Amino acid sequence: MVITAAHVPAIVALIAGILILVMPRLLNFIVAIYLIFIGLVGMGLLRWLHM
């Protein structure tokens, strides 16, 4: 399976959801990282990852 830019948000959301279920205190940290990552992907700053 080839991971494309369309798959990245779904994979990150799945991992974040599982971590939140296991450790609810991580919610703020996970949401902050998710939002930063999605913002960087949206602005094209992670183009070096070939996404």
On whether residue 5 sits in a domain, the answer given is no
Q: What is the pLDDT of residue 30?
A: 77
Q: Is the dihedral of CA 20, 25, 27, 33 positive or negative?
A: negative
On whether residue 8 sits in a domain, the answer given is no
Over the range 16-31, which residues count as b (16 or more CB within 10 Å of their CB) and which as e?
A: beeeeeeeeeeeeebe
On whether residue 23 sits in a domain, the answer given is yes
On whether residue 6 sits in a domain, the answer given is no
On whether residue 47 sits in a domain, the answer given is no
On whether residue 18 sits in a domain, the answer given is yes
**Per-residue model confidence as pLDDT tens digits over 15-37:** 878 888 888 887 888 788 888 88
Domain count, the chain: 1
Mean pLDDT of 27-51: 76
Percent of the chain with pLDDT over 70: 82
Higher-pLDDT residue of 40 and 3 is: 40
pLDDT(50) > 60: no
Q: What is the pLDDT of residue 46?
A: 65
Residue 23's domain spans which residues? 13-42
On whether residue 22 sits in a domain, the answer given is yes
On whether residue 28 sits in a domain, the answer given is yes
